[in-house]
Amino acid sequence: MKELIVHDAGNAPLYRILLEETFDGLVPLLHSLDVSERKLCLVSDSIVGALYGNEVGGILEKAGFSVVSFSFPAGEASKNLSTVEQLYDFLIAHSFDRNDVLLALGGGVTGDLTGFAAATYLRGIRFIGIPTSLLSMVDSSIGGKTGVDFKAYKNMVGAFYQPSAVYINVNALKTLPPREFLAGMGEVVKHAFIRDAGYYTFLKENREEILGKNEELLCSMIYQSLCIKKAVVERDPKEKGERALLNFGHTVGHAVEKLSDFSLLHGECVSAGMLAAAEISVLRGTLSAEDSRKIRDLLTAYGMQTKVPAPERDEFLSVCHRDKKADGSRIKFVLLDAIGNAFLDSEVSDEEIWTAVQAIL
């Protein structure tokens, strides 16, 4: 259906992203990567594995590939070093060497965990992303960020490690629960808010068809989000500057996520976090009240999270300061001066953060 090629900082091609409507294209993709004689490990969680593990594994085995499967309990609670250790043990038991390949079949947890294991097993083994959630398709599958949570701190341990390819079956979204789909939309609208006012208009005008999971519009939406993120990560692969703009809504969002003990989904917390960041932008005078209202209206129109449980002030601010995006005593905040134009600010005060948080309680 569609294809993107992600390049490194020197404009050399790194990997392909394919958008398809079935899993059948995995076979020619693997042949193009010259892995026909290598072992494949299909990594998935207990839910996605039950939905698609047999189908994907069957397609690959029928094509002559040697496939083993590793499954872990679904949920953010499994995204930790203990699960990675279990995967290491599994790979060692099946004699995987540096030339074999991991296949990350699932959402963001699976992709991040598998990518981190690939980056560290034998100092680096190839992996291919096969994202099945909207959030992983538009966000975590591209850019090379891998990692796991550590003692309830989100993505505290990780590495930048690029996949060999990303394969997206858009029709996998048809089995995605509505709450998970809307959580993924949090990252979709983020791309519009930080980089493309035209994309904001597309999302506003096609709301009904997108929520109805119209295949053509979903494909177009995913492609547009991938193009925005691709352009950013190509210019700043290690998040030294511009790439930090992709964290719009994440500073408050990660704090909300941790204090909810991960009962709220990542995309839900980011949605609320974007409203808080927009409120700070209005307080600073960089964003108009009208644009802030448009941001809230779009999130509300899609039924996304706009309110969160009230946290305790000092605990909330303490979590914000311990976020991995903090720089010493300063918190890096992504703000807006218009829909489609974000900038980075390291001088946001605790009072400004707490005042803005009142708008999402």
Is 94 a known active-site residue?
Answer: no
Taking residues 290-314, report their average pLDDT: 95
Taking residues 328-340, report their average pLDDT: 87
154, 243, 257, 258: which is the annotated catalytic residue? Answer: 243
76, 209, 215, 239: which is the annotated catalytic residue? Answer: 239
Is 243 a known active-site residue?
Answer: yes
20, 126, 169, 247: which is the annotated catalytic residue? Answer: 247
Percentage of the chain beyond pLDDT 90 is 90
Q: How confident is the model at residue 327 (pLDDT cuts 50, 70, 90)?
A: low
Q: How confident is the model at residue 249 (pLDDT cuts 50, 70, 90)?
A: very high
Q: How confident is the model at residue 324 (pLDDT cuts 50, 70, 90)?
A: low
Q: How confident is the model at residue 259 (pLDDT cuts 50, 70, 90)?
A: very high
Taking residues 268-275, report their average pLDDT: 96
As a whole number of angstroms, the distance between CA 93 and CA 100 comes to 14
Taking residues 130-151, report their average pLDDT: 94
The residues, ordered by sequence, that sit 6+ positions from 167 with a Cβ below 8 Å of its Cβ are: 18, 20, 23, 25, 26, 29, 128, 129, 130
pLDDT over 90 (residue 85): yes
Q: How far apart are the first and last CA of the chain?
A: 42
Is 145 a known active-site residue?
Answer: yes
Q: How confident is the model at residue 269 (pLDDT cuts 50, 70, 90)?
A: very high
pLDDT over 80 (residue 61): yes
191, 254, 258, 268: which is the annotated catalytic residue? Answer: 254
| Partners of 334 in the β-ladder | 344
State the residue for tokens 């720089």: 327
Q: How confident is the model at residue 239 (pLDDT cuts 50, 70, 90)?
A: confident
126, 155, 169, 187: which is the annotated catalytic residue? Answer: 187
pLDDT at 272: 96
126, 154, 195, 250: which is the annotated catalytic residue? Answer: 250
79, 190, 191, 229: which is the annotated catalytic residue? Answer: 229
Is 239 a known active-site residue?
Answer: yes
pLDDT at 175: 95
Q: How confident is the model at residue 328 (pLDDT cuts 50, 70, 90)?
A: low
Q: Report the predicted TM-score, pTM, of the whole model to 2 decimal places.
A: 0.93
pLDDT over 70 (residue 274): yes
pLDDT at 321: 87
Percentage of the chain beyond pLDDT 70 is 98
Taking residues 48-64, report their average pLDDT: 97
Is 321 a known active-site residue?
Answer: no
Please tell me whether residue 336 adopts helix, strand or coil conformation.
strand
Is 242 a known active-site residue?
Answer: no
Q: Is the dihedral of CA 170, 174, 177, 178 positive or negative?
A: positive
pLDDT over 70 (residue 329): no
pLDDT over 80 (residue 195): yes
Is 174 a known active-site residue?
Answer: no
pLDDT at 303: 96
pLDDT at 218: 96
145, 190, 191, 195: which is the annotated catalytic residue? Answer: 145
As a whole number of angstroms, the distance between CA 281 and CA 306 comes to 17
Is 266 a known active-site residue?
Answer: yes
Q: For the chain, what is the mean pLDDT?
A: 95
